[in-house]
């Protein structure tokens, strides 16, 4: 505003909040992280059994599956959608892997591939229902959840399928790539979680895919008017989520050394909770993978810690509920400031 410098300066200095912007989001992540640290410190003080290599590994292992699911659902939530089928989709992929390996006697890697493909196809189907058929995500994925649950039971004939013929399958989750430290052998499931988190974070922040994920969640109409094929990208997001459910399916099947067809329902809520605790906004446009991982760890640490303290189970549930509400409220407070 070259001709009227005063006005320009006035207008600039008055634009709300501008200079602090990036500081806030960095501090936000730090705070989420510090509440996890705080939790760990408190439990460590209260019980000598908590901060032990064995227990830390138990916590990480308990986080792996939920963490992976939460990563997938974070993408969907950022677009402003929701996926209620991640739990049963995971089970479905696990059953498909088991069917391939244990029933059809194919090699383990074919089973893994099968799980990933099955997940991707389910995700694609959800995506098409949401983007093309305009079915609200809540309903479309609720349907998908029942569908995959039913299919799992049918394929597995309602009983677990065991990987008795493929002992190496359990190594995927329970083996370790780094057997060097004697008492602290991090299972592969945990390593897979972290690697996936890094990849997902990269995809979300550095790729076109991630950018359009945010764009759609922030203002789908604006994205469409900018010439983005929003339908196609939305389908892609659901498909990626399906693929990630496939990974979770392999992890859980490998951990249990079996595909449990009845398992899975309810796991979607844990995954969504982890994402939301980690600062992902259910109305879309906001979220980070790091936050989601921290959210998942907060949940599993809390559960484990309360168990270690021998808190009666009923009170464990109450406490977890309170802390989840509290964590999300803290996040809201932070954003308000």
Number of residues that bind another protein (CB under 8 A): 87
What does the alpha-carbon distance between residue 278 and residue 297 come to, in Å, rounded to a whole number? Answer: 10
Closest distance of CB 42 from another protein, Å = 5
Instruction: Give the containing element (helix H, strand E) for 161.
Output: strand 161-162
69, 94 contact by CB (below 8 A): no
Contacts of another protein in 226-265 (CB under 8 A):
226-228, 252, 255-258, 260, 262-265
Whether the CB-CB separation of 127 and 145 falls below 8 Å is answered with: no
Q: Please identify, using beta-carbon distances, which residue of 132 and 159 lies nearer to another protein.
A: 159
Which of 179, 182, 312, 337 contacts another protein by CB under 8 A?
Answer: 312
Judged by CB under 8 A, does residue 134 bind another protein?
no
Binder of another protein out of 135, 219, 231, 282 (CB under 8 A) = 219
The phi and psi torsions of 170 (rounded to 5 degrees) equal -70, -15
Q: Which of 54-62, 106-114, 116-124, 131-139 is the region at the interface with another protein (rule: CB under 8 A)? A: 54-62
How many angstroms separate the CA atoms of 38 and 42, rounded?
6
Site string for another protein, 161-180 (x = CB under 8 A): -x-----------x------
Q: Considering only residues 139 through 158, tell me which ones interact with another protein, judged by CB under 8 A.
A: 158
User: Pattern 5-44, binding to another protein, x per CB under 8 A?
Assistant: -xxxxxxxxxxxxx--xx------------x--xx--xx-
Q: Which of 27, 132, 159, 232 binds another protein (CB under 8 A)?
A: 159
Q: Are 89 and 242 a contacting pair, CB within 8 Å? A: yes
Selected range binding another protein among 103-111, 121-129, 140-148, 299-307, rule: CB under 8 A? 299-307
Please choose, from the candidates 45, 42, 44, the residue with its C-alpha nearest in 3D space to the C-alpha of residue 53.
44
CA dihedral (35, 37, 40, 43) positive or negative: negative
What is the Cα–Cα distance from 68 to 74, expressed in whole angstroms?
Answer: 10
Rounded to a whole number of angstroms, the minimum distance from the CB of residue 124 to another protein is 20
Backbone angles phi, psi at 87, to 5 degrees: -65, -50
Q: Is 222 in the site for another protein (CB under 8 A)?
A: yes
């Amino acid at each position: 505003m070259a001709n009227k410098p005063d006005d320009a300066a006035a207008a600039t200095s008055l634009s709300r909040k501008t200079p602090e912007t990036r500081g806030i989001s960095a501090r936000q992540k730090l705070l989420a992280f510090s509440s996890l640290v705080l939790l760990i410190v408190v439990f460590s003080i209260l019980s000598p059994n908590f901060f032990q290599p064995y227990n830390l590994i138990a916590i990480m292992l308990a986080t792996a599956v939920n963490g992976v699911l939460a990563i997938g659902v974070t993408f969907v939530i950022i677009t402003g959608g929701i996926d209620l089928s991640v739990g049963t989709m995971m089970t479905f992929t696990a059953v498909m892997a088991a069917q391939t390996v244990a029933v059809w006697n194919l090699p383990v890697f074919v089973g893994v591939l099968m799980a990933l493909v099955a997940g991707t196809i389910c995700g694609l189907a959800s995506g098409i229902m949401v983007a093309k058929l305009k079915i609200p995500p809540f309903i479309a994925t609720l349907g998908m959840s029942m569908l995959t649950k039913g299919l799992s039971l049918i394929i597995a004939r309602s009983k677990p399928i065991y990987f008795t013929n493929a002992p190496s399958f359990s190594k995927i989750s329970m083996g370790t790539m780094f057997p060097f430290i004697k008492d602290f052998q991090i299972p592969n499931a945990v390593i897979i979680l972290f690697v996936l988190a890094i990849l997902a974070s990269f995809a979300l922040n550095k790729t076109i895919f991630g950018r359009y994920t945010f764009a759609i969640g922030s203002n789908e109409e604006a994205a469409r008017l900018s010439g983005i094929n929003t339908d196609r990208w939305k389908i892609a997001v659901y498909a990626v989520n399906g693929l990630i459910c496939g990974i979770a399916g392999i992890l859980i099947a490998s951990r249990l050394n079996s595909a449990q067809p009845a398992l899975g329902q309810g796991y979607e809520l844990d995954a969504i909770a982890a994402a939301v605790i980690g600062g992902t906004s259910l109305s879309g446009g906001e979220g980070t993978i790091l936050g989601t991982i921290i959210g998942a760890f907060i949940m599993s640490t809390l559960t484990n810690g309360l168990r270690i303290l021998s808190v009666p189970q009923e009170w464990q549930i109450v406490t977890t509920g309170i802390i989840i509400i509290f964590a999300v409220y803290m996040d809201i407070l932070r954003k308000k400031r």
